[in-house]
Amino acid sequence: MANVTTTAPGQAPATPRFSIRGALTAAEIDFRLFGMLLALVAILIGFNVVNEGTFLRPTNMTTLAVQGAGVAVLATGMVLVIVARNIDLSVGSLVGFIAMSYALLMTDWLPNILGMGDDFPFRWLIALAIGVGLGAVFGAVQGFIIAYIGVPSFVVTLGGLLSIRGAVWVLSQGAAVSGLDPTFQLFGGSAQGSIGGTLTWAVAIVGSLAIIGLIVYNRRQRRRFGFPVRPMWAEVTIAAVGCLAVIGLAAFANGNYWPPGAATRYAQEHGITEPAGGLKIAVGLPWPVVILIGVTVVMTFLATRRRFGRYVYAYGGNPEAAELAGINTRWTVVKIYILMGILCAISAAIAAARLNGATLDVGQSYELYVIAAAVVGGTSFAGGIGTVPGAVLGAFVMQSLAYGLAYSGVNSSEQNIVAGIVLIVAVAFDAYNRRRGGGS
C-alpha cells in the first residue's frame, strides 16, 4: 500500500512554480489516492484524539486491519467488475456459501464421508482448493449468463444474492457449524495466526527492495522507449518514503505482543522460563493482512501489467471501441467474474477462520461494503476508471470508521449513519475534483 505510484504513462508537464499539486503531478502521484491516504490518516488521528491517545496502538490497528481484510480482498476484484461497467451483488452470498462449505468439509464431509480424520495431512488445503473451485464455477456461471446470454449483471447477481444465500441454508439445514482444522484457523489472524516478528521484518525488506527495483526498472524501460522520466528528486523521494513507510509499518506491527495469557501458555508448553516483565513475543503481521497484501499485488499486476487488465479498462472506457478493436470482450467479462469468485473463496476463508466455523449469515451485506469501498476508492460507475490500491484504501477508510466508532462506544445504528454519509461525501468530493481537475 505504500507504493502509491501510478503506472499510467501520462505526460508530466514541467511546473512553472511550486505547488503541492504541481509537485504531485511531476512525481506522477495519483492525486486522488494521495488525498484518500491523507483522509485515512486524518480519521485515525481523529479517533486517537477522541480516545485520549489510546487508539493508535499496534494491537488496535492490527484488529482494524484483520477486520477489514475480508472486504478489502473482495474490493480488489469489485474494481474490475465496476470498471467493466458491471456489478456483482452476489459476493456476500457467495462468501457465505463457500464459508459454509469450508466448515462442512472440515467438520463433516472430509472426515465422515471420505474418511479424512483430524490427522489427515493438508486437509485444510483440500478444503481450500474445493472452495476456490466453487468460487470459480459460480463466477463462471454468472459471468457466462451476463456476457453470452446478455442478461444485465444487476439482475443475474441479484438472483445470485438470493439463491446462493438460500443454498447456504440448504447446505447447513439452518444450524451454525463450528470447529475447523487448526491449520485453517490461522487464516483468521489471531496471535497464533500471525507470521511473527522475524518474518514481518523479512516481508518489509522484500517490500522495500521491490519498491526500489520497480522504480529502477520503470526508469530504464521509459528511457529505452523514449518516454519522459520522472525528475530524479521525485524518484528518490518516492523510494525513500515508500521504504520508510514499509519498514515503519513493520516496526509498528511488531510492537504488538502476544496477550500475556497466551504468552505464558506458550512459555509453559515450550519449557521457557518467563522473564520478570512477562514473555514478549511479537505478533507481527496477521495472516489475513499478509493475504491481502499478496492479493493486492497480484490484482494490481493483473490490472496494470497484463493484457487482461488492459482489455478490462479498454472495455470499460468504451465497449464498442474495444469490441471493434478485436478484443474478446465477452470472454473478458467471464474472466472478471471467475476472478471475483476466487476472491470470494479467499475472503470466505478469512471469515470462516475468524469465526472458527460458519453461521448462516456469514458475508451478509458484504456486497454493500465492497461496492462502497470500491466507490470511495475512486472507482467510477461510468466505467473505465478505478484502481486496485484505491479500492483497498477505500475499504480501510470505511473499516477505520466502523472500528473507530465501535471502539469509541458508538452503537451500530449511528455507525451506519456515518458510513452512509461518508460514502456520499467521498463520491461527491471525487466528482467535484474530477470536474475541477479536468478529467483523470
Q: From the CB of 370, what's the least distance to other proteins, in Å?
A: 14
> Closest CB to other proteins among 82 and 291?
291
Q: From the CB of 223, what's the least distance to other proteins, in Å?
A: 49
> Closest CB to other proteins among 63 and 304?
63
Burial class (CB in 10 A: 0-12, 13-18, 19+), 149: exposed
Q: From the CB of 173, what's the least distance to other proteins, in Å?
A: 5
Burial class (CB in 10 A: 0-12, 13-18, 19+), 159: middle
Q: From the CB of 211, what's the least distance to other proteins, in Å?
A: 31
Q: What does the alpha-carbon distance between residue 144 and residue 205 come to, in Å, rounded to a whole number?
A: 42
> Closest CB to other proteins among 407 and 429?
407
Question: Contact residues for other proteins (CB under 8 A)?
Answer: 51, 54-55, 57, 59-60, 63, 66-67, 93, 161-163, 165-170, 173-179, 188-193, 258-259, 261-262, 351, 354-357, 359-364, 402-403, 406-407, 409-413, 416
> Closest CB to other proteins among 66 and 73?
66
Q: From the CB of 187, what's the least distance to other proteins, in Å?
A: 11
10 Å Cβ neighbour count for 137?
12
Q: From the CB of 185, what's the least distance to other proteins, in Å?
A: 9
> Closest CB to other proteins among 151 and 406?
406
> Closest CB to other proteins among 21 and 265?
265
Sign of CA dihedral 211, 212, 218, 219: positive
> Closest CB to other proteins among 54 and 221?
54
Q: From the CB of 89, what's the least distance to other proteins, in Å?
A: 12
